[in-house]
């Protein structure tokens, strides 16, 4: 491997991208990061890391960043709720990335998508053949745009010979964990109020260690070309998350378990978003962290998130 392998990571300073950047550097790759904000990576002192501050909608920056690379990890996304911005930046930028990859004969493009493309749950566990009911997704614009970009990837492989791999995941955690719903649960528990959770629902969390393992198994591996993989670590119910939240806040608040048919909260929370990762296990040899350890790690990350929230509020 060594320095002869060069990787471009778009969105490489984001929550997933920064972990992947560190993973690639640790494996000996030369890494170029293209991101609208590269400041989170400024402290990394590594001669094999090049930072390019720009969005993918800047074709000249994409062209320059992609020059001579072996593979591209495409994560960049604005997460805008504005359809016009989504088209002008995310979708246009996606096409620029693919066009330049073809023009410069990049050997592999890995595209990070999302479980949001599954839209309205039809069955669970969810395999990659699950219908993409994007119009009914919890974020329809995001789901529609991600489905479009997935289809474009596969079209470019079929028509222009660009080897692509698509990765879908639900909720990632690493050194940190985000999520508005989790923050609301932490504040509710800390206030001593009742934590309401829908019974029989939850989701497949994925650790960044496992995401990085999946990346390593996919990268420049012909077995992954043209494939779409669900990547997950452990399925955790909202009841289990509530128990973790109660534990880390140190408040013995009540956890009220609401039958799914009586749930009045966000609709997507009432479904069992359990991703079936058997395809990645079979094709790639993917082997995620054991469930018991993963849940322990998840609780530790939630505790860290709570400490950060407390520090932020005290400093305000």
At 316 the pLDDT is 53
Q: Which ranges of 105-197 would DSSP assign to H, the alpha helix?
A: 140-160, 180-190
Provide the 3-class DSSP secondary structure of residue 50: strand
pLDDT tens, residue by residue, 213-235: 999 999 999 999 999 999 999 99
- In CATH terms, the fold of domain 175-204+233-271+290-315 is UDP-galactose 4-epimerase; domain 1 (3.90.25)
pLDDT tens, residue by residue, 261-278: 899 988 888 999 999 999
At 315 the pLDDT is 63
Measured distance CA(231)–CA(234) in Å, rounded:
10
4, 169, 225, 295, 298 from 236: Cα distances, Å? 41, 14, 30, 8, 10
Measured distance CA(98)–CA(79) in Å, rounded:
20
70, 177, 236, 249, 250 from 303: Cα distances, Å? 39, 10, 16, 8, 10
Domain ranges of the chain: 2-172+205-230, 175-204+233-271+290-315
Q: Is pLDDT above 90 for 150?
A: yes
- Segment 56-68 shows an average pLDDT of 98
Residue 131, token pair as written in the block: 């219908």
C-alpha neighbours within 13 Å on the C-beta side of residue 192:
0
Percentage of residues in the chain having pLDDT higher than 70: 98
- What mean pLDDT value characterizes the chain? 95
pLDDT tens, residue by residue, 248-260: 999 889 999 999 8
- Site of tokens 């009586």: 262
Q: Is pLDDT above 90 for 20?
A: yes
Count CB atoms within 10 A of the CB of residue 102: 16
- In CATH terms, the fold of domain 2-172+205-230 is Rossmann fold (3.40.50)
């Amino acid at each position: 491997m060594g320095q002869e392998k060069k990787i471009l990571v778009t969105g490489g300073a984001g929550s997933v991208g920064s972990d992947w950047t560190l993973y690639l550097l640790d494996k000996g790759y030369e890494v170029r990061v293209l991101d609208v904000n590269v400041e989170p990576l400024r402290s990394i002192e590594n001669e094999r890391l090049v930072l390019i501050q720009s969005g993918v909608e800047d074709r000249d920056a994409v062209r320059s960043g992609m020059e001579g690379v072996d593979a591209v990890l495409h994560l960049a996304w604005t997460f805008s709720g504005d359809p016009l911005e989504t088209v002008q930046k995310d979708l246009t930028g996606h096409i620029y990335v693919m066009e330049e990859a073809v023009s410069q004969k990049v050997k592999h493009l890995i595209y990070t998508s999302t479980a949001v493309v599954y839209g309205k749950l039809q069955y669970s566990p969810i395999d990659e053949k699950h219908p993409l009911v994007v119009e009914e997704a919890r974020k329809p614009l995001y789901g529609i745009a991600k489905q479009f970009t997935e289809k474009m990837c596969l079209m470019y492989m079929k028509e222009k010979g660009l080897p692509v791999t698509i990765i879908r995941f639900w909720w990632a955690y690493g050194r940190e964990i985000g999520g508005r719903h989790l923050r609301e649960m932490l504040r509710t528990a800390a206030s001593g109020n009742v934590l309401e959770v829908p019974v029989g629902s939850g989701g497949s969390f994925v650790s960044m260690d496992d995401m990085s393992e999946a990346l390593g198994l996919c990268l420049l591996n012909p077995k992954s070309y043209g494939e779409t993989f669900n990547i997950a670590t452990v399925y955790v119910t909202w009841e289990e998350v509530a128990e973790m939240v109660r534990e880390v806040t140190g408040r013995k608040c009540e956890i009220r378990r609401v039958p799914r048919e009586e749930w009045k909260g966000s609709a997507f929370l009432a479904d069992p978003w359990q991703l079936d990762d058997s395809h990645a296990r079979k094709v790639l040899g993917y082997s995620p962290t054991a469930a018991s350890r993963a849940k322990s790690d998840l609780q530790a990350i939630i505790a860290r998130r709570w400490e950060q929230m407390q520090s932020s509020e005290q400093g305000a």
